[in-house]
A and B are shown apart, each in its own frame.
Chain A
Amino acid sequence: MSSYTYRTYPYVRPAELDGKSVRRPVVIVGAGMAGPTLALALAEKGVPSVVLDEDDTVSLGSRSICQAKHSLETWDRFGIAGRMTEKGITWTEGEVYLRDKPVYRFNLAPEPGHKFPAFVNLQQYYVEEFLYERCAGEPLVELRHRNKVVAIRPRADGVAVDVETPDGRYTLDADWLVACDGVRSAVRHMLDLPYPGEVFHDRFLIADIRLKGDLPKERRFWFYPPFHPTNSVLLHRQADDVLRVDFQLGRDADPEEEKKPENVDKRLRQMFGPDARWEHEWTSVYTFTCRMMERFVHGRTIFVGDAAHVVSPFGARGGNAAVADADNLAWKLAAVIAGRAPAGLIDSYCSERRAASVENIRHSTRATDFITPKFPASRVFRDATLALARDFPFARSLINSGRLSVPTAHTGSPLDTPDRDNDWAGGPPPGCAAVDAPLGDGWLVDRLGRDFTVLTFGPAAAIPGARSVSVEAEELAQRRYDARPGTTYLIRPDRYVAARWRTFDPQAVQAALDRALGKEPTC
């Protein structure tokens, strides 16, 4: 049925079953999008980890298809983003239709000069496949399939993890346990932690199909299209000539009926006409929730990705947030494990990524409320917006079919040093993601270190514990960083700006670096 061949990744009998047990600095539960990303980010900083996954293959179903620029930049550090862009579909434009008429068009990449596009559409199974392959070539990552976590025992300085395998059970002792085990997180249940949030009742049908012909590359979203007049439809292309068609079904739809191939085909036939031919790739009827844990860090157990927060699919924020979580946590864990930063640094993972989650949930909830209005007045306003959209451009900008994932800011994080100079007219302020720009015949993102980077517009500046990148005459970079001669940025390993100045002052940079590592200020 599927065009994708699911490989089976071999189970290897763990040494612990034969009595060889060593304490691990980091044990990761779950090899979805977050787990292997975290393991590879730790490995590039020299920290070994074990990743445990209960099954032996990649994501069943294409699930997350829109891989955002910031995620691609993260994966590029591991050398796999090139494969992803090659295999996937690069797109920047989206079109919103009312009935059969286009009413709103957006372009997510208004200007060139970035190594990666705003989005590459690639099915989650490919993303995981590329991650798994990269893990296999990384001696510091041990990815163990068919290793299911069945119990955990938190201790003051670590966590004991009970793991079930086809050959029986064993225990792993970890300094840190990171739960990347998805929305139904087993670890969260084991610790009996609540997962508060909002449940949405509208049902949606995903029909991923392989369709031959000239497929549109842009994202298309219809309100009340002629082929599905009561609700909305989303169409998006993926690799291998696969299309995602997402039908809003309403609250009363019967999932079992809707899933039947003949019923799915009937809907598709109305959409694509009598001559179209397709094969089914993946079908799923879903409802969704927006939830977030109160704290992502519980002693030595840390929650990442869907285990910690979950949003609706509109906006492509789930998988991309999971990757951003992993990147935010990796350098902090590495710094704490190396004794370079106090353990309290880990708490900033919670505050920063919770802020991101709040933002993601807000966006996702709004898009959801627009697509599936919850009360009469919200429907009235939604339909009024659509009605005005044809003639009034302002109304088009209010149409919300999902505001697509961009790196979230964590303004006010205790790790950031607020601006001291007050003449910034642009550039990413502290707490925002660094922006890419062409540098020579390469890219700024390629020059950023695995560790901290001091980016100076002028002569190179040496700061212990940071890589120095000097930019002399690069117009686009200067503009994107609102730079003048002397302008200096301190950029974290996860490519977020920690501080910036108009002039290079080594003491100020050192103090900002200490602060970004969660150290007590020395003066």
Chain B
Amino acid sequence: MLKRTSNLARPDEVYNAIVDAHKGLDDEQARAFDARLILLLANHVGDEAVIREALAAAAAPAIDGGNGVV
């Protein structure tokens, strides 16, 4: 089961480490970076059912910053 509640002892630290890792990358580099990161984390998670659940959760409608369009 995909965890829904916080599983991180220091959530702000982890969030900022992830965001900061993108500093200075252009769009394409950022996508390549994210792809490597996702594959690494997916392998670490190891559980295919959980990964599929996460894929479905991430596919839910995105919000669009700025224009107020969902």
Contacts and interface: CB of A to CB of B under 8 A. Distances in A.
Interface of A: 98-99, 224, 226, 229-230, 366, 369, 375-379, 381-388, 391-394, 397-398, 400, 403
A444 B55 CA distance: 52
Nearest to A390: B60
B22 A378 contact: yes
A121 to B, nearest CB: 24
B4 A387 contact: no
Interface in B7-60: 7-8, 11-12, 15-16, 18-19, 22-23, 25, 27, 30, 57, 60
A339 B25 CA distance: 57
Contact of B23 (A375, A383, A403): A375
Interface of B: 3-8, 11-12, 15-16, 18-19, 22-23, 25, 27, 30, 57, 60-68
A224 B70 CA distance: 11
A382 B19 CA distance: 9
B27 A386 contact: no
B11 A377 contact: no
The prevalent SS among residues of A at the interface is: helix
Contacts of A224: 63, 65-66, 68
B27 A376 contact: yes
Given A99-B68, A229-B68, A384 B62 contact: yes
11 contacts: A224-B68, A229-B68, A369-B19, A375-B22, A376-B27, A377-B19, A381-B19, A384-B62, A391-B4, A392-B57, A394-B8
A98 B65 CA distance: 11
Contacts of A376: 27, 30
Nearest to B30: A377
B45 to A, nearest CB: 15
Contacts of B4: 391-394
Contacts, number: 68
Given A98-B63, A383-B64, A384-B62, 13 more contacts: A224-B63, A229-B67, A229-B68, A377-B19, A377-B25, A378-B22, A381-B22, A383-B62, A385-B15, A387-B62, A391-B57, A392-B4, A393-B5
Contacts of B16: 366, 369
Contact of B15 (A381, A392, A393): A381
A391 B60 contact: yes
A391 B57 CA distance: 9
B18 A381 contact: yes
Given A377-B22, A378-B19, A392-B4, A366 B63 contact: no
B63 A387 contact: yes
A386 B7 CA distance: 18
Contacts of B63: 98, 224, 383, 386-387
Contacts of A230: 66-68
Nearest to A99: B68
B3 A394 contact: yes
A388 to B, nearest CB: 7
A387 B60 CA distance: 9
B65 A383 contact: yes
Nearest to A366: B16
A420 to B, nearest CB: 26
A157 to B, nearest CB: 45
B16 to A, nearest CB: 6
For the complex of A and B, the 5 pairs showing the least CB-CB separation, nearest first, are: A377-B22, A229-B68, A394-B6, A383-B65, A387-B63
Nearest to A385: B15
A369 B23 CA distance: 12
Given A99-B68, A230-B68, A366 B12 contact: yes
Contacts of B60: 387, 391
A398 B15 contact: yes
A379 B67 CA distance: 13
A375 B65 CA distance: 13
A393 B4 CA distance: 6
Nearest to A363: B12
